Chain A
Amino acid sequence: MEDTGIGLWGVPLAIFAGAIRVSTPFIFVSLGETITERSGRINLGLEGTLVFGAMTAYAVAVMTGSPTLGVLAAMATGAIFGTIHGWICKWPKVNDIAIGIAMMQFGLGLAFFLGKSFIQPVAPKLPSIPLGGWSATPQVQAALNINVLFFIGAALALFLWWAFRNTRIGLILRVVGDSTDAARAMGISPDRVRLLATAAGGSLAAIGGAYLSLYYPGSWNEGISSGQGLMAVALVIFARWNPIGCFLAALLFGGAGALGPALQSVGVTQGYYLFYAAPYVLTLIILIATSSPTRSLAGAPGALSLTK
């Protein structure tokens, strides 16, 4: 055990810092998936979008020297992936869950293919805001060094929560998600709304990827994602399609994900891999606890194939 000066207090502090650090990609992917699922589609391909976004952001940041441009480029590719998914799924007899699996494999393959030459170079990182200046302890300062994207994600969660209730676009999205027929009766084209919602969702998921490659862990390689894109889909169910819920659930998952490294840093190495599985076990337990075989989930969009 290294001399940290704060002893076992390092564990909760590391979990807190980890929760913030690890949760940011979850926040963006789950908010994106919330928008998509609220429109009545499910996009399981966000894992591929996330990894492709991570690759794009890293490559563009290496080439232009600007991490912000990297994030914007990632958003654009994410929107393209979402548009493809949305366009294919508008055809009859096409299964959105299966297309999502295919898009995931395609996105991963394309990211590994195009990203091969970017494994070596170092990209500039996204800026973070040091909020720990008041403390003299370096661990506290490090823990409160929080990335800009975390705050943007938090603000976005609040905004979406408000927008789903109070804006015309939010209402249209919910109508389409709850009943395709009602939307048609109102003169709304469900396919177009779903296509745009999937594109928006993909673009947000790609920001999550950009965070992975440009901030934490801050490098591009083929193992950059450990299933964040998929777990976010489960997280949306747990959060009951509520953006604020997504934000809180993402923090919980981030904390679970930080458990293993935090314990390892104070010398607990037994069962390291089991702690590594903690977020997956937590997701599964939450899914089991909140699902029911007899009734559909509270808050679930009516047209969603996931809960049928």
Chain B
Amino acid sequence: MTAETNDPGLPIAAGGQASLRPLLEWLARRAEPVAIGLVAILIGLALFSLFILAIGKSPVTLFQLMYTGGFGSWFSIQNSLSRAAPLLLTALCVALPARLGLVIIGAEGAVVLGGVAAAASAMPFVGVVPPIMLFVFMAIAAMVVGGIWIGFAGFLRHYRGVNETISSLLLAYIAIALMNQFVEGLLRDPASLNKPSTKPLPKEYMLGHIPGMDVHWGLVIGVLACILSWVLIEITSFGFAARIAGGNVRAAQIQGLPVGKLIVGFTAIAGGFAGLAGMIEVAAVQGSANASLAAGYGYTGILVAFLARHNPLAIIPVAILLGGIAASGGLIQRRMGLPDATVLVLQGTLFIVILFCETFYGRFKIFNPDLWKRS
């Protein structure tokens, strides 16, 4: 019935076909981002292959190694999943504000300060409270600090008109300087000589592995965060209001939506997730806060979010894919003698091509059911 109202030109006699139509329409609309995304990845891989050919190496060998290193064995799959865990959270830090039309690229700052806050908040409680309580304290501290950091960029955007892309990046540089100051000064463990760090967490206070896997709990936390974010954006009225404000700020203001609160709220939640990534790095990987926190997760997260078109559920497979590419970097370096920056070149190429392919949205009639019967 709905199909017939959508398209009055459809002959009533073809009732059987008409009932299929809503399904086809749904499929067509859903297929557009998937098809364009896949084509973009293929173009990106083709360009990258040309580059590898140009320097005299075999792209076939490279892609085989990439598969082996990222997903070829249970060991490499676990490695990829471990690397995907922080990316899930830093990608959310880009994707949530993006739904409001903001381009935040300073997740790295929230990661490092979240890590420092987690390590600092753990200090007085190690040996006093049970590990699970300690993790809760660390997570809260990291999320609050990360939330304030990115929320500040959102605040400046709305209340002062400061471009959030630039301010969030400046804040990231400031955060890294603050982290260095803390781990080399106030919070430094005198026992850490070569690599200034905070006091390491005892083994029993480390966030362990998922049972049966060599992957830490950060992966579960990241996946849960993605699902929660999806619910927040797609189902709650808070998320609905945010999507309206992202589409048209003026319209949202006329509707009486609290745009300022939405922007600060969403950026703060986003920063909280990135801060949580820092806490996981400290509690599950490093054991202490040190300069390794600034490992670039915040920057790879930007790529993940754009690849996933800022859809929190799509972030999960994309983060695992990019985690796999990152995991294969060592193997490529050893077997083919290529520099570790190979992965960065591939990521950059993919990123550019994917953004370029945004221009193809809406150009193909097959994805737009409204145009099907007109020609």
Q: Chain A: residues with CB nearer than 8 A to chain B?
A: 44, 84, 88, 91-95, 97-99, 101-103, 105-110, 112-113, 116, 226-227, 230-231, 233-234, 237, 271-274, 276-277, 280-281, 283-284, 287-288, 291-294, 306-307
B351 closest partner in A (C-beta): A102
A276 to B163 CA separation, bound complex (whole angstroms): 23
Q: Chain B: residues with CB nearer than 8 A to chain A?
A: 103, 105, 156, 158-163, 165-167, 169-171, 173-174, 177-178, 180-181, 184-185, 299, 302-303, 306, 338-349, 351-352, 355-356, 358-359, 361-362
Distance from B296 Cβ to chain A, minimum over Cβ atoms (Å): 10
B contact residues around A226 at 8 Å (CB): 173
A279 to B343 CA separation, bound complex (whole angstroms): 31
A276 to B179 CA separation, bound complex (whole angstroms): 12
B176 closest partner in A (C-beta): A277
B157 closest partner in A (C-beta): A293
A227 to B163 CA separation, bound complex (whole angstroms): 17
A291 to B355 CA separation, bound complex (whole angstroms): 29
Known pairs A93-B359, A288-B156; A105 contacts B344 (CB<8 A): yes
A contact residues around B348 at 8 Å (CB): 102-103, 105-110
Q: Report whether A280 and B174 are in contact in the complex, using a CB–CB cutoff of 8 Å.
A: yes
- Residue pairs across A and B with Cβ atoms less than 8 A apart, 17 shown, are A92-B359, A93-B358, A95-B103, A97-B103, A97-B165, A99-B355, A102-B303, A109-B345, A110-B348, A112-B341, A227-B173, A272-B181, A273-B178, A274-B178, A274-B181, A288-B156, A293-B159
Q: Report whether B342 and A113 are in contact in the complex, using a CB–CB cutoff of 8 Å.
A: yes
A contact residues around B303 at 8 Å (CB): 102, 105
Q: Report whether B170 and A291 are in contact in the complex, using a CB–CB cutoff of 8 Å.
A: no
Partner of B359, one of A94, A103, A306: A94
B105 closest partner in A (C-beta): A101
Q: Report whether A277 and B352 are in contact in the complex, using a CB–CB cutoff of 8 Å.
A: no
A99 to B303 CA separation, bound complex (whole angstroms): 11
A206 to B356 CA separation, bound complex (whole angstroms): 24
B contact residues around A272 at 8 Å (CB): 181
Q: Report whether A94 and B356 are in contact in the complex, using a CB–CB cutoff of 8 Å.
A: yes
Known pairs A92-B359, A98-B103, A284-B174; A106 contacts B352 (CB<8 A): yes
A contact residues around B169 at 8 Å (CB): 227, 230
A contact residues around B351 at 8 Å (CB): 101-102, 105-106
A266 to B356 CA separation, bound complex (whole angstroms): 51
Distance from A299 Cβ to chain B, minimum over Cβ atoms (Å): 15
Partner of A112, one of B165, B344, B355: B344
3 smallest CB-CB distances across A and B, nearest first, come from A106-B348, A109-B344, A277-B177
B contact residues around A293 at 8 Å (CB): 158-161
Partner of B355, one of A92, A95, A237, A283: A95
A280 to B361 CA separation, bound complex (whole angstroms): 38
Q: Report whether B160 and A116 are in contact in the complex, using a CB–CB cutoff of 8 Å.
A: no
B152 closest partner in A (C-beta): A284
Q: Report whether B180 and A102 are in contact in the complex, using a CB–CB cutoff of 8 Å.
A: no
A227 closest partner in B (C-beta): B173
B340 closest partner in A (C-beta): A112
Q: Report whether A284 and B167 are in contact in the complex, using a CB–CB cutoff of 8 Å.
A: yes
Q: Report whether A102 and B345 are in contact in the complex, using a CB–CB cutoff of 8 Å.
A: no
Distance from A25 Cβ to chain B, minimum over Cβ atoms (Å): 16
Q: Report whether B352 and A103 are in contact in the complex, using a CB–CB cutoff of 8 Å.
A: yes
Distance from A54 Cβ to chain B, minimum over Cβ atoms (Å): 15
A112 to B338 CA separation, bound complex (whole angstroms): 11
A contact residues around B362 at 8 Å (CB): 93
B contact residues around A108 at 8 Å (CB): 344, 348
Q: Report whether A271 and B359 are in contact in the complex, using a CB–CB cutoff of 8 Å.
A: no
Q: Report whether A116 and B299 are in contact in the complex, using a CB–CB cutoff of 8 Å.
A: no
A98 closest partner in B (C-beta): B355
A109 to B174 CA separation, bound complex (whole angstroms): 23
B181 closest partner in A (C-beta): A273
A306 to B167 CA separation, bound complex (whole angstroms): 12
Q: Report whether B177 and A280 are in contact in the complex, using a CB–CB cutoff of 8 Å.
A: yes
A293 to B352 CA separation, bound complex (whole angstroms): 31
Interface centre among A274, A284, A307 (most CB of B within 10 A): A284
Distance from A274 Cβ to chain B, minimum over Cβ atoms (Å): 6
Known pairs A106-B345, A108-B348, A116-B339; A280 contacts B359 (CB<8 A): no
A44 to B180 CA separation, bound complex (whole angstroms): 26
Partner of B177, one of A94, A274, A283: A274
Interface centre among B180, B306, B344 (most CB of A within 10 A): B344
Q: Report whether B166 and A287 are in contact in the complex, using a CB–CB cutoff of 8 Å.
A: yes
A99 to B306 CA separation, bound complex (whole angstroms): 11
Partner of B356, one of A88, A231, A294: A88
B contact residues around A273 at 8 Å (CB): 177-178, 180-181, 184
Interface centre among A92, A97, A101, A237 (most CB of B within 10 A): A101
Q: Report whether B355 and A88 are in contact in the complex, using a CB–CB cutoff of 8 Å.
A: yes
Distance from B271 Cβ to chain A, minimum over Cβ atoms (Å): 16
Distance from B330 Cβ to chain A, minimum over Cβ atoms (Å): 15
A298 to B227 CA separation, bound complex (whole angstroms): 43
Distance from B56 Cβ to chain A, minimum over Cβ atoms (Å): 13
Partner of A93, one of B105, B174, B343, B361: B361
A contact residues around B180 at 8 Å (CB): 273, 276
Partner of B163, one of A99, A237, A274: A237
Partner of A88, one of B165, B344, B347, B352: B352
A273 to B339 CA separation, bound complex (whole angstroms): 30
Known pairs A97-B165, A102-B355; A109 contacts B347 (CB<8 A): yes
A292 to B161 CA separation, bound complex (whole angstroms): 5
A113 closest partner in B (C-beta): B341
Q: Report whether A231 and B170 are in contact in the complex, using a CB–CB cutoff of 8 Å.
A: yes
B contact residues around A91 at 8 Å (CB): 356, 359
A94 to B105 CA separation, bound complex (whole angstroms): 18
Distance from A111 Cβ to chain B, minimum over Cβ atoms (Å): 8
Known pairs A109-B341, A233-B166; A98 contacts B306 (CB<8 A): yes
Interface centre among A102, A237, A288 (most CB of B within 10 A): A102
A99 closest partner in B (C-beta): B355
Q: Report whether A230 and B158 are in contact in the complex, using a CB–CB cutoff of 8 Å.
A: no
Q: Report whether B177 and A291 are in contact in the complex, using a CB–CB cutoff of 8 Å.
A: no
Partner of B339, one of A84, A113, A230, A284: A113
Interface centre among A112, A113, A274 (most CB of B within 10 A): A113
